[in-house]
A and B are shown apart, each in its own frame.
Chain A
Amino acid sequence: EAGVVQSPRYKIIEKKQPVAFWCNPISGHNTLYWYLQNLGQGPELLIRYENEEAVDDSQLPKDRFSAERLKGVDSTLKIQPAELGDSAVYLCASSLGGRYWGYNEQFFGPGTRLTVL
């Protein structure tokens, strides 16, 4: 069974440019997460989806970050415009949804390493 797929794996852009990351979760997983991970730090949640609904986006900087999960499967995270401080690894994870979503194992993708110059 395929794991969580993310692309691209690496992205280098200049500041003020837009950038988008794509995630394909494990088949059947209703819950999808986007995390930001700085070097040597733990992941920090940006947004959580239950199917196509964003149920927790309190940590998403909405002035420049946006996300969508239109059909409740794949998801895209966008930054526009990117700033130097956005350089980090962006991780996508998925898990079974439902009433006990918080207790289900999260499976992480390999992440997209973003460098903003």
Chain B
Amino acid sequence: TQLLEQSPQFLSIQEGENLTVYCNSSSVFSSLQWYRQEPGEGPVLLVTVVTGGEVKKLKRLTFQFGDARKDSSLHITAAQPGDTGLYLCAGQGAGTALIFGKGTTLSVSS
């Protein structure tokens, strides 16, 4: 069974701080996606990484896919209150459905 472990589970920081969220697995994924979910809404896709070692940037968010395609990280620079939400990583195996991690709940206070 493929599992995705996310850490930390909860993160509470002040505006302007930097943070990193990790997503780890013992399995290889063909691609990995990061979602953000706000209360009362469904997850919204932020990025998809496909190639081992790939780095993608989305404004203040930097996503990295591990060389072996088993892990990924999300780094937020200078966090803002609008970044508050549940961050989910999801791995895609060959011909399989997405497997979601348990998520990281981020709270950014001003």
- Is A14 part of the contact surface with B, judged by Cβ < 8 Å? no
Query: Is the Cβ of B42 less than 8 Å from the Cβ of A42?
Result: no
CB contact list, B16-71 vs A, under 8 A: 30-31, 40-45, 48
Which chain A residues border B101 with CB–CB below 8 Å? 42
Of the four ranges (under 10, 10 to 19, 20 to 34, 35 or more), the interface on chain A belongs to 20 to 34
Which chain A residues border B75 with CB–CB below 8 Å? none
A86→B31 CA distance, assembly (Å): 31
- Is B88 part of the contact surface with A, judged by Cβ < 8 Å? yes
Query: Is the Cβ of A45 less than 8 Å from the Cβ of B105?
Result: no
CB contact list, A35-65 vs B, under 8 A: 40-45, 48, 56
Which chain B residues border A97 with CB–CB below 8 Å? none
Query: Is the Cβ of A42 less than 8 Å from the Cβ of B105?
Result: no
Chain A residue at minimal CB-CB distance from B100 = A42
Nearest chain B CB to A103 CB, angstrom units: 7
- Contact pick for A110, options B9, B40, B86, B96, CB 8 Å: B40
User: What 9 pairs across the A-B complex have the smallest Cβ distances?
Assistant: A108-B42, A42-B100, A45-B97, A42-B88, A42-B103, A43-B100, A108-B43, A41-B102, A42-B102
A37→B67 CA distance, assembly (Å): 30
Of the four ranges (under 10, 10 to 19, 20 to 34, 35 or more), the interface on chain B belongs to 20 to 34
Query: Is the Cβ of A42 less than 8 Å from the Cβ of B90?
Result: yes
A43→B9 CA distance, assembly (Å): 15
Nearest chain B CB to A6 CB, angstrom units: 8
- Is A66 part of the contact surface with B, judged by Cβ < 8 Å? no
A103→B48 CA distance, assembly (Å): 9
A4→B44 CA distance, assembly (Å): 12
Query: Is the Cβ of B42 less than 8 Å from the Cβ of A91?
Result: yes
Query: Is the Cβ of A40 less than 8 Å from the Cβ of B92?
Result: no
Query: Is the Cβ of A110 less than 8 Å from the Cβ of B41?
Result: yes
A103→B4 CA distance, assembly (Å): 18
Query: Is the Cβ of A103 less than 8 Å from the Cβ of B92?
Result: yes
